[in-house]
Amino acid sequence: MEFSAEQIAGLLNGTIQGDPAVKVRGLAKIEEGLKGALSFLANPKYEEHIYSTGSSICIVNNSFVPARELPSTLTLVLVEDAYSCFAKLLELYGQMTKKQPAIEQPSFIHESAQYGEGLYLGAFAYLGANSRIGNDVIIYPNAYIGENVTIGDGTVIHPGVTIYHDCKIGSNCIVHSGVVIGADGFGFAPDENGEFKKVPQIGNVIVEDNVEIGSNTTIDRATMGSTILRRGVKVDNLCQIAHNVELGRNTAMAAQVGVAGSAKIGENVMVGGQAGISGHLHIADGTKIVAQSGIPSSVKKAETLMGSPGIPIDDFKKSYFGFRKLPFILNKIQELEQKIKELTKK
């Protein structure tokens, strides 16, 4: 599929410097651009590449002024915000390349399952009893949709996803490969002999609209009630969301974050990779947690936390400065001890 510079500028309300008729057939990073590719430049750190790129078209900010001569084969499309405009093109590209409605065979649809218009159901996918699938849903091969599951309009379920019984997925969500939604929470109680007995997990998982869940993330069902991911939540790959956790609206978590049971995370919280959050606590709206931090207790007001246990980032930096000087301080202490011994002998 080809697009001309003129068409791209029209979509983005941009202006053209160069050949309006030049066409592109694909996308590429500016440093890897080839003839027929579309690139963008938003970060000044990458400006050097625009003077040697092989791309045919590059989207740049209106404020961009070349420091030297550009390649003669390069056409610029100038826009207000190059990054957001390129993201818009990526979204349009995704819409044009999405799966067309079809039900591939072999696949299984229970006689009591219901689905709307425009469904794509890949081979070896499974729709369980009383499942309810909305309009324009894409379910890729080898996905398992359990009994009484509901999936809203426009949601994409990638290959190998497992959604256990009674869970609810909203509209316009994206669930990536290997995700497990609704497995049992980690609930065990020791008996009089010290052996762990399983506590039945009879709740479910509710995922609201516009949520994206990264590959191989697991979201456990509630012991009772619901584990909830509110509207707009973004969870990266390899995260663990335990039973009865609630993630507030527009909260984002990077890879390998673990959230223990019954923790309540506020809205617009940002959590860096490999951070751990203890159970049964509350995190205030707008909190930021730096990667690899550990949060053992509730956070009552929005702040940026770092370390384990997590403390305000400015305090952490001061503490770390002292920690780095610890070998020097220990040497000084040893020197002072030696001098004290010498003075005592005298």
Active site (catalytic) residues = 243
Q: What is the enclosing helix (H) or strand (E) of 9?
A: helix 5-12
Pick the closest to residue 77 from 12, 29, 24 (CA basis): 12
SS3 per-residue string spanning 37-104? EEEEECCHHHHHHHCCCCCCEEEEECCCCCCCCCCCCCEEEEECCHHHHHHHHHHHHHHHHCCCCEEC
Residue 302 near residue 316, CB atoms below 8 Å? no
- For residue 259 the two structure tokens come to 């959230």
Residue 152 near residue 170, CB atoms below 8 Å? yes
Residue 213's DSSP bridge partners are: 175, 235
Pick the closest to residue 219 from 172, 187, 184 (CA basis): 184
CA distances from 201 to 145, 184, 187, 245 (A): 19, 6, 7, 14
Tokens 């220990």 — which residue? 330
Pick the closest to residue 120 from 94, 106, 139 (CA basis): 139
Tokens 């606590």 — which residue? 281
- For residue 102 the two structure tokens come to 């079809």
Tokens 């390899």 — which residue? 238
Q: Which residues contact 71 (CB under 8 A, 6 or more apart)?
A: 51, 52, 53, 54
